[in-house]
């Protein structure tokens, strides 16, 4: 298989991973969502009806109902990366006298990430129930802007506490709702946002650590091979110095799986690091991503269901944008030590 064919396959796979992660990361809007919808409109008229119905049912089952599919994909990707790292990169690094302490970092991070991943999946995000709703109503005040008192969930038939939202996938109202994450098959809310943040940072650190060790291995492989000072004969028989493109092509053909893994990890690292920093920013100002999206469009919570006719025409009141913020230290403290639900004693 020549270099161009291998590189084309590599680009297609990486782009497919980008679309998959961005479209189904749990966010409400992304450029890839618009692109996906545009492609559906273009190819819809020429696609057989039975294929459209089948794809719609499959997509609905995967992305609009609770499913462990993305948990399995997550685990399979980790197995593939760690198998390649352990099988090839680890050995090369040991030949270059990389310390065992440095090589053990990805495995320590894997253990930490697995713990937070499990907690994100298993912990209740803060489900609003008939038994708990009276106490949950007392935790946060209504801001009178995005959240209003007296609003009931038409599905759960319960009063909606401030900062809560009904998740269509889980079919429940969640206290301090952030978003539904398909990668953990759970909502991110009042009780598990702390684990989600730690999960994001440990996953980013894990990808970064493996990428650094792999990049260092490839760099030393180039130094040992002498490619930086090598030359080659072009198609005209002229001698030319091996430039960066030649070095990259050599690495791609010599270590195709390692280079593919490195490119994937670099992409994942920047994507997850940016996502983790975004959620850190939201934690610092005590805002959820659900509130951030609503705040940008300023959709009134009492206008249910939300349609074009129900959008509020008033301009946003920027003085109340960070209504729930209590200062950076207290905001972070509230994430890691959520306020206790007030339970009323039965008479």
Please give the average per-residue pLDDT across 53-77, as a whole number: 72
Residues 180 and 169: beta-carbon distance below 8 Å: yes
Catalytic residue among 93, 167, 173, 181: 181
The bridge status of strand 239-241 relative to strand 231-233 is antiparallel
CB atoms within 10 A of CB 6: 16
Mean pLDDT of 181-187: 91
Strand segments, DSSP code E, in 210-296 are 231-233, 239-241
How much is the average pLDDT of 330-343?
A: 85
Task: Encode pLDDT of 307-316 as tens digits.
Answer: 434 434 334 4
Helices 3-23 & 256-284 angle (0-180, nearest 10): 20
Q: What is the mean pLDDT of residues 211-226?
A: 88
Q: How far is CA 279 from CA 37, 80, 299, 342, in A?
A: 27, 28, 21, 27
Domain ranges of the chain: 66-347
Of 57-66, 89-98, 118-127, 196-205, the least confident: 57-66
Rounded to the nearest angstrom, the gap between the alpha carbon of residue 71 and the centroid of all alpha carbons in its chain is 12
Nearest to 175 by CA among 339, 57, 63, 19: 339
Q: How far apart are CA 74 and CA 78, in angstroms?
A: 6
* pLDDT tens digits, one per residue of 231-267: 666 667 667 776 677 777 778 878 888 988 898 899 8
pLDDT value of position 63? 57
Half-sphere exposure of 85 (CA within 13 A, CB side): 27
What does the alpha-carbon distance between residue 119 and residue 325 come to, in Å, rounded to a whole number? 26
Does 304 or 46 have the greater pLDDT score?
46
pLDDT of residue 59: 57
Please provide residue 180's backbone torsions phi and psi, each rounded to the nearest 5 degrees.
-95, 125
Residues whose CB is less than 8 angstroms from the CB of residue 93 and which lie 6 or more positions away in sequence, other chains included = 102, 103, 213, 216, 217
What's the rounded Cα separation, in Å, for the pair 61 and 178?
Answer: 22
22 is a catalytic site residue: no
């Amino acid at each position: 298989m020549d270099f161009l064919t291998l590189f084309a396959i590599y680009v297609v796979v990486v782009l497919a991973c980008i679309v998959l992660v961005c479209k189904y990361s749990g966010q409400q809007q992304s450029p890839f969502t618009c692109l996906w919808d545009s492609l559906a409109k273009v190819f819809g008229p020429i696609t057989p009806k039975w294929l459209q119905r089948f794809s719609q049912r499959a997509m609905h089952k995967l992305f609009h109902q609770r499913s462990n599919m993305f948990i399995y994909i997550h685990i399979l990707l980790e197995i593939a990366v760690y198998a390649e790292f352990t099988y090839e990169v680890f050995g090369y690094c040991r030949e270059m006298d990389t310390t065992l302490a440095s090589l053990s970092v990805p495995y320590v991070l894997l253990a930490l990430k697995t713990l937070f991943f499990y907690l994100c999946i298993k912990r209740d995000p803060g489900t609003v129930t008939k038994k708990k709703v009276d106490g949950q109503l007392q935790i946060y005040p209504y801001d009178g802007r995005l959240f209003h008192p007296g609003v009931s969930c038409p599905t759960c038939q319960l009063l909606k506490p401030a900062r809560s939202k009904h998740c269509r996938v889980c079919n429940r109202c969640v206290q301090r709702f952030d978003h539904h994450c398909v990668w953990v098959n759970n909502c991110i809310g009042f009780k598990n946002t702390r684990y989600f943040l730690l999960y994001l940072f440990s996953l980013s650190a894990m990808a970064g650590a493996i990428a650094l060790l792999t990049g260092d291995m490839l760099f030393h492989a180039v130094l040992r091979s002498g490619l930086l000072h090598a030359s080659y004969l072009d198609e005209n028989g002229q001698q030319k110095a091996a430039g960066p493109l030649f070095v990259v092509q050599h690495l791609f053909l010599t270590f195709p799986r390692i280079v593919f893994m490195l490119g994937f990890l670099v992409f994942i690292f920047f994507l997850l690091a940016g996502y983790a920093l975004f959620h850190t920013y939201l934690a610092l100002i005590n805002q959820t991503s659900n509130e951030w999206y609503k705040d940008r469009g300023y959709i009134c919570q009492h206008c249910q269901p939300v349609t074009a006719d129900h959008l509020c025409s008033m301009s946003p009141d920027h003085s109340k944008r960070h209504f729930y913020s209590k200062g950076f230290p207290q905001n972070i403290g509230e994430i890691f030590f959520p306020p206790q639900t007030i339970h009323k004693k039965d008479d």
